Amino acid sequence: MHDALIGLLDRRAPVGRETWRSLWDQLGDGRLDRAQALALLASLATAFPDHETLRHLLDSLAERRPARPAGRWAGTVNVVGTGGGPRTFNISTASAFVAAAAGVRVVKTGSRAYTSALGSVDLLERLGVPLTSSYEQTAETLDRYGIAFAGPFVYPAQLTRLARTIVPTSMKPFGRFLNALGPFLADLPVTAQVTGVSATAPLAGLRALAATVTGRTLWLTANDRGADELLAFADNTIHGNDGRELRLPAGRLVPADGGFGDLLPAVEPAAAPEHFLSVLSGAAGAVATRTVCLNAAALAVASGHITDWAKAVDAAEEAVRDGAARDLAERIRAEGARPPARTREVSGA
């Protein structure tokens, strides 16, 4: 049994970076067999490791990544959640479109569904919105639309290798851990990140891990209703990686009426695209609109695009009211299947 597995099972001391390096080496050359790969994932999913072990794990993966472009995308915010909360439509994806329509530079990362009917990637696929496949294409898409949806290239290749190693078992049984750690796995040169944390995710452990993140503003949002989004009808708290907390009680920025019944997804997955577009145009009800705009405002403030929360909410509501948010989504649907010119040339080389 590999020392990483022994350490995870023992839990008396953090699993160090050298141990993780050894595990990835064995995974890469085929010495980590299916049984050990399954045991690794099962251990991680059963009990969330201490933040030092997770920091070493993340660092050991980061050092194996291909080099990405130097510098950061100024004023750009990544939005991603842990999933696993109450059943709703894709609020963070909607808030990304609304914030971008209000002038915020947004990158959305996410995954296919582990615990819900449709993850962000599933929804985007049904909408006909393509994912980017490189840092260059992501930057070009950002410049073109003010928003980009990053594909799997932002995640460590070792996750794909693990998934292949455990076949025919799927990764879905381990979704709780993968969702919780996923926001820390994506490697993007943004200046801010907003991550919603549901009640099924270990907030205390993620806060400790977030405190070790440098080089970008990182907000973890949580609320008393267990969702991984800010909710108009909940008491919300934003935990910054600088140690500061911001409380947004229900009713402070937007009316607090309504509940989860106002945020339900489309009954059938096939109807999700049209339902989602109705959310962007404000036709899915006042509670849905207020919730999306509250989350879009968080992206505006975290990125530094707008510093006043009330003004940020107003800007988001205007982007819905004047049709800019839905128009942006429709434009990307119509044009987004055609990559920017330079990307087409590279792909065709």
Considering the domain architecture, whether residues 138 and 13 belong to the same structural domain is answered as: no
CA dist 27 and 286 (Å) reads 50
Interval 108-128: pLDDT, tens: 997 665 455 677 888 999 999
Residue 347 pLDDT > 90, yes or no? Answer: no
Considering the domain architecture, whether residues 191 and 284 belong to the same structural domain is answered as: yes
CA dist 234 and 145 (Å) reads 32
- 165 domain-assigned: no
Least confident range from 39-43, 242-246, 314-318, 332-336: namely 332-336
- Look up residue 174 and give its DSSP letter: G
- 126 domain-assigned: yes
Residue 28 pLDDT > 60, yes or no? Answer: yes
Considering the domain architecture, whether residues 22 and 116 belong to the same structural domain is answered as: no
Please state the domain count of the chain. 2
Residue 341 pLDDT > 60, yes or no? Answer: no
Indicate which CATH number applies to the domain containing 39. Answer: 1.20.970
Considering the domain architecture, whether residues 209 and 244 belong to the same structural domain is answered as: yes
- 342 domain-assigned: no
Output the CA angle 35-40-44, nearest 5 degrees.
150
Interval 259-315: pLDDT, tens: 999 999 988 888 999 999 999 999 999 999 999 999 999 999 999 999 999 999 999
What order of strands is seen across the sheet that includes strand 73-81?
147-149, 105-108, 73-81, 190-196, 217-223, 236-240, 245-248
Considering the domain architecture, whether residues 47 and 194 belong to the same structural domain is answered as: no
pTM of the model: 0.92
* Phi, psi at 159, each rounded to 5°: -65, -40
Residue ending a domain, among 15, 40, 62, is 62
Interval 161-207: pLDDT, tens: 999 999 999 988 898 888 899 899 988 999 999 999 999 999 999 99
**283-287, 334-338, 343-347 — most confident range:** 283-287
**What is the DSSP code string of 286-313?**
HHHHHHHHHHHHHHHHHHTS---HHHHH
CA dist 338 and 344 (Å) reads 8
Considering the domain architecture, whether residues 242 and 288 belong to the same structural domain is answered as: yes
- 346 domain-assigned: no
Residue 343 pLDDT > 80, yes or no? Answer: no
